[in-house]
A and B are shown apart, each in its own frame.
Chain A
Amino acid sequence: MDIKDLEMRALDVREDIISMISGAGSGHPGGSLSCADILCALYLGGIMDVSPDAAADPARDRFVLSKGHAAPALYAVLAHAGFFPREELKTLRKLGSRLQGHPDMRLTPGVDASTGSLGQGLSIACGMALGLRLDGNPASVFALLGDGECQEGQVWEAAMYAAHQGLDGMVAIVDHNGLQIDGAVTEVCSPESIAEKFRAFGWDVHEVDGHDVAALMKVLADAKAARTGRPQAVIAETVKGKGVSFMEGNAGWHGKAPDAEQTASALAEIRSARAERSCA
């Protein structure tokens, strides 16, 4: 898929995110929209070696959505990647749905780990990378964390251990959108500089615009291929609520569904961006 197609897909994914959360009447639009381009690069841009036809293949790359509340973004991308019908996205958060409020590996095809309690995904990824290395399996493990999530101490337990073990098959991506429920991450309790912290723990650190799909593709491919003896961190500068102007940069949209009018306005904005992009 070329970059322009990938950008168009990211707009489709944004549309799905808004529709799903609006339909569910609850969910986390801000942090789902901020990581949409990252997830598109991983699953639709071909960074990760995964396929719905080989969903349990031991040789596949793994992904852990440590910021599990961005489940709508993951579900939308998995549907676009063919793991289940896009139609099913409408069932998000509803009784009997395979699409739970937070990712459940036992229910949703393509989900490699159940997550939702923040701070745990990097440790899970670390265990996966150790298991793969023990088997001589060269598959890579990706984990996506929030910047607010980096306030959880366990993130740094895992960062220390991954570096100590030299787990270079592991890529941690931080969705650096700057906001958490109670406001700016730096005002609530600053974990900055996250990049410097990962460096200090012994990681290779890459920094990238998390909405520049071409740049993301390059950085993620580089990080996956690095194998320097050190784990790889990608700090992706993002905007919470990206693509819906009234949500952008507003912590109030962390965990709230848009009403009917807001949904219509958000979808109109995304569709107009798609129309503009397709003419470009």
Chain B
Amino acid sequence: MIAFASEEERGCRMATRAAYGPALTELSAEGAPVVAVDADLTGSTTIAKFAASSEENARRVFNVGIAEQNMTDVAAGLALTGKVAFTGSFAVFGCGRAYDQIRNTVCYAGLDVKICPTHAGISVGPDGGTHQMLEDIALMRALPGMRVLVPADHAAARAAIKLAARTSGPVYVRMGRAAVPCVYAQDVELEIGRAYVLREGADVTLIACGVEIEEALKAADVLAAEGVSAEVVDAFSVKPLDAGTILASVGKTGCAVVAEEHSIIGGLGDAVSHLLAAEHPVPCECVGVQDRFGKSGAFEELMSAFGLDAQALAAAARRVQERKLSS
């Protein structure tokens, strides 16, 4: 049984990225041969905390400067000497700029490199469209052998990083800058390939990942006030996807909304739509960024401007339910 945050913990907000450096410190203490390669963002990625945790861990941090392609292949070389090598940066650089390195050197050889961008999606906020990566899940999902994890909160991010270290081969862990509410208990353990039902319901399934979990939970409250019972599923393991849990939920509710802080092209929405089309076709809508770049603004403003907030999810839920009932 999965452990959720207590009432008191739910009130506290923390960024998923804050889990990164401390999780590596824990892994190192457990004897895992972790190393971190960073590109001039050790403070933002929180790798500075890992480096500061001990002299030994400081030796395990490699700051290559502003050179994300080199960062990724240096990590690959470290993995080839038996290390579990982590890279972190903004997703647009650590994943986008280094895509060829991730594809041809890391994934092609199945190396133990864990790509952990700490700043993905529009939650990057005021830095604007150049820094708001919205295509990373699509890029990473398409790579053979790559696992893609999108944790919803700080505890899930810690669990995902530890899972990444314990899983052989490449893993992508997508984190964010924005503080989000705690959903899971701080010491939660998650499994790759599992989705978690956060709230049970009978009328519509809201499947989400990352920062969209908060919006899905809020949308479920909005819908409940209207007499609609929404089930909320955290599909944090975007690849591999937990087909069983998703199909069981949709089999019960008969309609679904999939939400992610990512382009509607190639992400969780496509993964779930593909699954439902093949296994259990029901009315389904995808909530995501509509084939556009991001822009500057506060996180909350952007969530509303791009149609990613709870109101947008609730509206989509009403539509799919209507389609279900009228069919």
* Chain A interfacial positions (CB closer than 8 Å to B): 58, 62, 104-106, 112-117, 119-120, 123-132, 134-135, 137, 153-154, 157-158, 160-161, 164-165
Cβ-defined contact, B81 with A157, below 8 A: no
Chain A contacts for B69, CB-based, 8 A: 119-120, 123, 153-154, 157
Known contacts A120-B101, A131-B82, A131-B83; is A126 also within 8 Å of B67 by CB? no
- Nearest Cβ distance between residue B119 and chain A, in whole angstroms? 21
Please, how many angstroms separate the alpha-carbon atoms of A88 and B74 in the complex?
32
Contact B74 A127 (CB under 8 A): yes
Which chain B residues in 182-199 approach chain A with CB under 8 Å? Answer: none
List B contacts of A134 (CB < 8 A).
35, 59-60, 81, 83
Among A104, A128, A157, A160, contact of B80 (Cβ-Cβ < 8 Å): A128
By Cβ-Cβ distance, the 6 closest A-B pairs, closest first, are A127-B77, A131-B81, A123-B73, A157-B70, A127-B74, A157-B67
**Minimum CB–CB distance for B201 against chain A, Å:** 45
Complex: A135 Cα to B56 Cα, angstroms? 12
B104 close to A114 (CB less than 8 A): yes
CA of A131 to CA of B65 in the docked complex: distance in angstroms? 18
Which chain B residues lie closer than 8 Å to A115 at the CB level? Answer: 104-105
Which of A105, A114, A127 lies in contact with B75, CB distance below 8 A?
A127
With contacts A116-B104, A157-B64 taken as known, whether A127 is within 8 angstroms of B79 at the C-beta atoms is yes
On whether the beta carbons of B77 and A129 are closer than 8 Å, the reply is yes
Contact of A117 among B70, B83, B100, B110 (CB under 8 A): B100
With beta carbons under 8 angstroms apart, the residue of B59, B73, B100 that contacts A127 is: B73
Q: Which residues of A contact B104 (CB under 8 A)?
A: 114-117, 120
> Do residues A128 and B65 form an inter-chain contact, with CB atoms below 8 A?
no
- How far, in angstroms, from A152 to B279 measured CA to CA in the complex? 46
List residues 143-202 of chain B with CB under 8 A from any CB of chain A. Answer: none
Question: Separation in Å of the B172 CB from the closest CB of chain A?
Answer: 19
Q: How far is the CA of A22 from the CA of B74 in the complex (A)?
A: 36
Other CB < 8 Å A-B pairs besides A114-B109, A130-B78, A160-B67, 13 of them?
A: A113-B80, A117-B100, A119-B69, A120-B73, A123-B74, A124-B76, A127-B76, A127-B81, A128-B77, A131-B78, A154-B70, A154-B73, A160-B65
- CB pair A123–B77 under 8 Å, yes or no, is yes
Q: How far is the CA of A161 from the CA of B67 in the complex (A)?
A: 9
Q: What are some 10 contacts across the A-B interface (CB < 8 A)? A: A58-B82, A106-B109, A120-B101, A124-B105, A126-B73, A126-B74, A127-B76, A128-B78, A157-B65, A161-B70
* Cβ A124 vs Cβ B108 within 8 A: no
Interface positions, chain B 50-102, Cβ under 8 Å from A, are 59-60, 62, 64-65, 67, 69-70, 72-83, 85, 100-101
Residues of B within 8 A of A154 (CB): 67, 69-70, 73, 101
User: How far does the alpha carbon of A128 sit from the alpha carbon of B81 in the complex, in Å?
Assistant: 6
| Given A154-B69, A157-B69, A160-B65, A125 contacting B77 (CB threshold 8 A) | yes
User: Are the C-beta atoms of B73 and A161 separated by less than 8 Å?
Assistant: no
- Whether the Cβ atoms of B70 and A135 lie closer than 8 Å is no
Residues of the B chain whose Cβ atoms lie less than 8 Å from the Cβ of A127: 37, 73-81, 85
A161 CA / B77 CA spacing, docked (Å): 13
Residues in A with CB closer than 8 Å to B73 are: 120, 123-124, 126-127, 154, 158
Q: Which of A106, A129, A132 contacts B110 (CB 8 A)?
A: A106
Which chain B residues lie closer than 8 Å to A112 at the CB level?
A: 80
In the bound complex, residues from chain A placing their C-beta under 8 Å from that of B79 are 127
Q: How far is the CB of A166 from chain B (nearest CB, A)?
A: 13
Q: How far is the CB of A85 from chain B (nearest CB, A)?
A: 24
Nearest Cβ distance between residue B21 and chain A, in whole angstroms?
19
Q: Which of A58, A106, A123, A131 contacts B70 (CB 8 A)?
A: A123
Distance of B266 from chain A, by nearest CB (Å): 22
Tell me, in angstroms, the Cα distance from A128 to B76 when the chains sit together.
8
Q: What is the distance, in angstroms, from B114's C-beta to the closest C-beta of chain A?
A: 14
Distance between A261 CB and nearest chain B CB, rounded to angstroms: 36
Complex interface: chain B residues within 8 A of A117 (CB): 100-101, 103-105
In the assembled complex, which residues on chain B have CB atoms less than 8 Å from the CB atom of A114?
A: 104-105, 108-109
Task: Select which of B62, B64, B80, B110 is within 8 A of A124 by beta carbon.
Answer: B80
- Which among B78, B80, B82, B103 has the greatest number of chain A C-beta atoms within 10 A? B80
**Cβ contacts under 8 Å, A124 to chain B:** 73-74, 76-77, 80, 105
- Complex: A116 Cα to B37 Cα, angstroms: 23
Q: A125-B77, A126-B74 are in contact. Are A161 and B108 (CB under 8 A)?
A: no
Set of chain A residues within 8 Å of B70, measured between Cβ atoms? 123, 126, 154, 157-158, 161
Q: How far is the CA of A132 from the CA of B79 in the complex (A)?
A: 11
Chain A nearest Cβ from B154, distance in angstroms: 30
Please, how many angstroms separate the alpha-carbon atoms of A112 and B83 in the complex? 15
